[in-house]
Amino acid sequence: MSALKSALARVDPDELIALTRELIRIPSVVRPGDPGATEAAVAAHVEEWFRQEGFDVEVQAVAPGRPNVLAMLGDRAVGPTLLLEGHTDVVTEGDPGQWSHPPFEADVVDGRIYGRGAADMKSGLAAAMIAAAALKRSGARLGGRLVVGALVDEEADMLGVKHLVQTPLGRELTAAIICEPEQNELCLEQRGVVWARVTARGRMAHGAMPEAGVNPIVALSALVREAPRLERRLRMLCARSRYLRPPTVTPTVMTAPVKGVPQSNVIPASGARRARCRCSARLPRRRGSTRPARCRHGRRSRPR
Ligand SMILES: [Zn+2]
């Protein structure tokens, strides 16, 4: 039997379902300001599970009560390191009264598991854990090292992965499989994102005497008007992808004044604009090329 078949034979669907339900039953909604509402409990469960399975485990303190847990199998001296990545936080359950099944009881009904994080992504995390354990139990000799990462804060500021990539282990990673739910599609590429915040400083004046001031809203408006041009430029520069939507530049918030009370008869002293810019991860193609990239929608039914 091949090593792969031997490992696959050790994947127990019942164990996978049970582990997914265990993880769902440990709430890990992060509520800022509440030190008891973090990923700590579920991270401890993941750590304990891996230790019982005999994995080497590294726990990284990312923030108080918010640890990354990384379990390792194999030897990095032999070959590349592959990360199976999952996150331990989940988005809020909202009003539990609106749920058809309690959000943290992981009921199984008609072959489906109901609960907060059942899809995003305690099931994916459990799948990564079971896959790694199956490999270990099979006794397969890996041509490198496998790391399962249960990271914190994916749903907010990505503190977990930002921390990981700056650690020695993070720098040793060769490739990663992100075990997020994608409606059973394999996603080969993902766009990157830049959040741009631009602040314009003007000079406050009475609205009846605009010549006495400098209006930051006018400057920011000019910037917003340029967004489509910047978007077209990015589309020329970026290599096209068969899977991803072309780059987008999206102004989302304009605020003026930045501080203080807005008044309709006062030119504000400052204004701020926020924009979201999503680009293909590929490097820009030929520099200076003016030929538009013929970006097209890929085969994915839900391009990102
Ligand atoms: Zn997720």
Span from the CA of 35 to the centroid of ligand 1 (angstroms)? 22
The catalytic residue positions are 89, 154
* Residue 178 CA, ligand 1 centroid: distance in Å: 9
- Identify the CATH number of the domain defined by range 3-178: 3.40.630.10
How far is CA 89 from each of CA 13, 80, 181, rounded to the nearest angstrom? 24, 28, 14
d(CA 180, ligand 1 centre) in Å: 5
Cα maximum dimension of the chain: 85
pLDDT recorded at residue 187: 87
More confident residue, 18 or 185: 18
The H helix count followed by the E strand count for the chain is 8, 12
**Closest-CA residue to 254 (of 221, 279, 229, 289):** 221
- What Rg, from alpha-carbon coordinates, does the chain have? 24
What pLDDT is recorded for position 256?
92
pLDDT of 34 above 90: yes
Can you give the pLDDT at residue 186?
A: 87
Read off the pLDDT of residues 2-11 as tens digits, 9 standing for 90 and up: 888 999 999 9
CA of 65 to the centre of ligand 1 (A): 20
For residue range 134-168, list pLDDT tens digits in order. Answer: 999 999 999 999 999 999 999 999 999 999 999 99
Residues 6+ apart with CB under 8 A from 126: 16, 19, 20, 23
Give pLDDT, residue 276.
76
Tell me the C-alpha distance between 243 and 236, whole Å: 17
What is the predicted pLDDT for the residue at 249?
92
Give the pLDDT confidence of 199-243 residue by residue, as tens digits.
Answer: 999 999 999 999 999 999 999 999 999 999 999 998 888 888 888
Class of domain 192-279: alpha beta
Higher per-residue pLDDT: 113 or 245: 113
Distance from Cα 279 to the centre of ligand 1, integer Å: 20
On the question of pLDDT at 296 being above 50, the answer is no
Question: Rounded mean pLDDT of 244-261?
Answer: 89
Dist. CA 154 → ligand 1 center (Å): 7
Asked if residue 277 has pLDDT above 90, the reply is no
Percentage of residues in the chain with pLDDT exceeding 70?
91
- Burial (CB < 10 A; 0-12, 13-18, 19+), residue 151, is buried
pLDDT tier, 22 (very low <50, low <70, confident <90, very high otherwise):
very high
- Per DSSP, the residues of 215-234 read -HHHHHHHHHHTHHHHHHHH
Query: Could you state, in order of their start, the residue ranges of all structural domains in the chain?
Result: 3-178, 192-279
Q: What is the reported pTM? A: 0.74
Q: What is the C-alpha to C-alpha distance for residues 235 and 53, in angstroms, rounded to an integer? A: 48
Higher pLDDT, 100 or 285: 100
Distance between CA atoms of 23 and 1, rounded to whole angstroms?
A: 33
